[in-house]
Structure 1
Amino acid sequence: MSSNTTVRPPPPPSEASGSDFARLSRKITAAGLLGRRPGYYALRTTAVAGLYVSGWAAVALIGDSWWTLAVAAFLAVVFGQVALLAHDAAHRQVFRRRRASEVSGRIAGAGIGMGYGWWQDKHTRHHANPNHEELDPDLDPDLLVWSQDQARAAKGLPRLIGRWQAFLFFPLLTLEGFNLHVSSVKALANRSLKHRTLDGVLLFAHFVLYLTVLLWLLPPGMAIAFLAVHQCVFGVYLGSLFAPNHKGMPILTGEDRPDFLRRQVLTSRNVRGGRLTDIALGGLNHQIEHHLFPSMPSPNLRRARTIVRRHCQELGVDYVETGLIASYRLALASLHRAGAPLRHTRVPI
């Protein structure tokens, strides 16, 4: 080779090269939507922490009055907002480094009585295979059945409840807060769970502090009523955050493994709305964008929506978006269809 030969670097990838997701990813990166938003998260964390402290201060000030139950409902919503902050931290939306993300996520989880390690493991598996009947832990038929195949194989409570589960769905959500705590404690027996000792200490510290504060500030009867209202409203809020996202969307089975972009888009549903919807649902109303770019800070998801929707239209990939009430209607209709085999059989429970 001549010493005068010039070696040129390879040209940058063209907009048309690479997989469908790679091309979308370049558009999102060029728009600067994957960068951290420290100012936003500092403000949001401060606001939620302030509401958390204010709620408990109000319990102390109001004391033995039925108005305390209104504070319990208020704190239930605040707990939901703390859960959303833990979700964002787990996805490294807040901090880029793993350690900072885990520390902040564990603090948020401890604040609401959630085992961070258990939830992170479960949620990671959900993101890898959303709405896959065998691989998505959110489709485990532990109480409800999500498909007619699960209904035919159901036994015990799922078989009993599954017949009319669409009508029972929102009443059952009142138990979701308790289920979060119970599942977190049960997961401590899993030896493969990382940092389970730390998770156990934080969990039981939360339970002891929570009950001590209630019994110290309120008479026993009022404390029980507060706990019931607080945990039931918290459960309904949690379930209402996640139900619109995938329920009623296509369920994958067996070897159904579309490419990454289609696996995430076709199994997810967006919810239309303004800034208040973004706040109430923590950005999870932009579920398609969140599943495609889970580390994208939640305030950037709204801007990403336009790019993702146009890209899907160019590919001919269905991009589903509905209103909030319509999303619940679709989820309930799906639950009713899934339970159909149980309404048409008298096989013993």
Structure 2
Amino acid sequence: MSTGRPTARFPQAHASTARYAKLSAQVRAAGLLDRRHAYYWGQISVWVTAFAAIWAATVLLPPSGWHLLLAAALGVVVTQFGFLGHDAAHRQMFASASWNAWAARILAGAFAGLSYGWWRAKHARHHRAPNQEGADPDIGPGAIAFTPAILAERRGAAGWVGRHQGWLFFPLLTLEALNLHVASVRSALGASRRTPWRRTELAIVLVRLAAFPAVAFLVLPPGLAAAFLAVQLAVTGVLLGASFAPAHKGMPIVPSTMQLDFMRRQVMVSRNVRGNRGIDTAIGGLNYQIEHHLFPNMPRCNLKRARPLVRAHCEREGIAYVEVGLLRSYVLVIDYLNHVGLQARDPFDCPLAADLRA
């Protein structure tokens, strides 16, 4: 944000940097950035075992409606591999960048059918500028219009969908896993020749995407096999979408020309969801979204422990820290999506603007 008064910017920039540096020192001193190898090896073991058990039951049991319950369970497990791939891509698991990269390729690619290269590039842009128009791909054009500017361009049936998209949000999420698979393959096919391991990653994803239908149609009647795959995809899509949506949807949208310091940028456009052991597992720790955005490489299991430090620091610094219950977060998301084009206020009131004007 340019004010025409450069001498006024530098003191504020220095103060804002000091805010984050102080919090970062507290977090490091508490050991919250240390790797948690036992936790992650335990998580990998649990979900690999569950994955194998579900497929064993799918193959061994005679065809019946119980296979649809197995498909739903498989959708839950595949979602967990998506979360583990996310953690590895953020280098939360290992000290070695190479170990993290290969863990992400295997966990997300071989088990969830998601491209590590595509996810890393897209998600890195999101973390650099969350909820900023023109910078954050998570609020860019797509099936859902997340900003008034995008919605204003839609006419006819697309416009009607946009005006009612909050109510359509969860039904549309049943297609989200399919959308992610397509995006992963397209990204890998279009990757530059200089992209490391692009062919290997594409092969991993394609084998995974072919293996599920191949096994399903081999051991089940065609109709039941199709239903099995549809249920698994729908459950995975809903769980992934429902995990990421509460984090930023319905929080302030930052105009493309606005500049914010790192701490305010990450905290004021993020929303935490109050957790417990079940919610923490179901959402993959993403309910501690504020802590995750401030410390992306913090192991998932430490985010809850960092929460009191971050919240207290935000209170001292006068930075809004938003936290709600899970159901309330979905109400806010649905209401926001249904009213994207009806916002009567500016999308974001820069917290630095008042300081600089003063």
Task: Judge same fold: TM > 0.5, yes or no.
Answer: yes
- Aligned residues of 1:143 and 1:157 also touching (Cα < 8 A): no
Post-superposition CA distance 1:45-99 (Å, at most 9, x none) = 1111111111111111223111100000000000111101001101111112111
1:270 aligns with 2:300: no
Structure 1 stretch 309-318 or stretch 197-206: which is displaced more? 197-206
**Secondary structure in 1 aligned to 2:164?**
helix
Pair 228,99 (structure 1): closer, same or farther in 2 beyond 3 Å: same
CA RMSD, 1 decimal: 1.7
- Which amino acid in structure 1 is aligned with residue 303 of structure 2? L
What's the counterpart of residue 112 of structure 1?
Answer: 112
Whole-Å separation in 1 of the counterparts to 2:294 and 2:121: 18
What's the counterpart of residue 73 of structure 1?
Answer: 72
- Aligned residues of 1:114 and 1:180 also touching (Cα < 8 A): yes
What's the counterpart of residue 177 of structure 1?
Answer: 177
Aligned pairs for 1:280-299 (under 5 A) are: 280-299=282-301
What's the counterpart of residue 240 of structure 1?
Answer: 242
What's the counterpart of residue 129 of structure 2?
Answer: 129
Q: How many residues align?
A: 326
Whole-Å separation in 2 of the counterparts to 1:340 and 1:18: 35
- Which amino acid in structure 2 is aligned with residue 246 of structure 1? H
Pair 215,160 (structure 1): closer, same or farther in 2 beyond 3 Å: same
Whole-Å separation in 2 of the counterparts to 1:337 and 1:99: 44
Q: Report the Cα offset of residue 203 of structure 1.
A: 1.5
What's the counterpart of residue 93 of structure 1?
Answer: 92
What's the counterpart of residue 10 of structure 1?
Answer: none
Aligned pair partner of 2:262 in 260, 263, 270? 260
Give the TM-score taking structure 1 as reference length: 0.90
Whole-Å separation in 2 of the counterparts to 1:63 and 1:141: 45
Q: Report the Cα offset of residue 256 of structure 1.
A: 1.5
1:328 aligns with 2:330: yes
Q: Report the Cα offset of residue 208 of structure 1.
A: 2.1
Give the TM-score taking structure 2 as reference length: 0.88
Pair 140,63 (structure 1): closer, same or farther in 2 beyond 3 Å: farther
- Which amino acid in structure 2 is aligned with residue 20 of structure 1? R
Whole-Å separation in 2 of the counterparts to 1:157 and 1:75: 35
- Which amino acid in structure 1 is aligned with residue 154 of structure 2? A
- Aligned residues of 1:143 and 1:158 also touching (Cα < 8 A): no
Q: Report the Cα offset of residue 277 of structure 1.
A: 1.4
Bigger Rg, which one: 1
- Aligned residues of 2:81 and 2:107 also touching (Cα < 8 A): yes
- Aligned residues of 2:163 and 2:339 also touching (Cα < 8 A): no
Structure 1 stretch 133-142 or stretch 189-198: which is displaced more? 189-198
- Aligned residues of 2:188 and 2:202 also touching (Cα < 8 A): yes
- Aligned residues of 1:139 and 1:146 also touching (Cα < 8 A): yes
Pair 19,246 (structure 1): closer, same or farther in 2 beyond 3 Å: same
**Secondary structure in 2 aligned to 1:94?**
coil
Post-superposition CA distance 1:27-51 (Å, at most 9, x none) = 1111111000011111111111111
Pair 97,184 (structure 1): closer, same or farther in 2 beyond 3 Å: same
Whole-Å separation in 1 of the counterparts to 2:287 and 2:263: 18
Aligned pairs for 1:1-349 (under 5 A) are: 19-109=18-108, 110-154=110-154, 158-192=158-192, 193-340=195-342
Q: Percent identity?
A: 46
Pair 172,182 (structure 1): closer, same or farther in 2 beyond 3 Å: same
Whole-Å separation in 2 of the counterparts to 1:180 and 1:295: 23
Contiguous gaps of at least 5 residues in structure 2: 1-14, 344-358
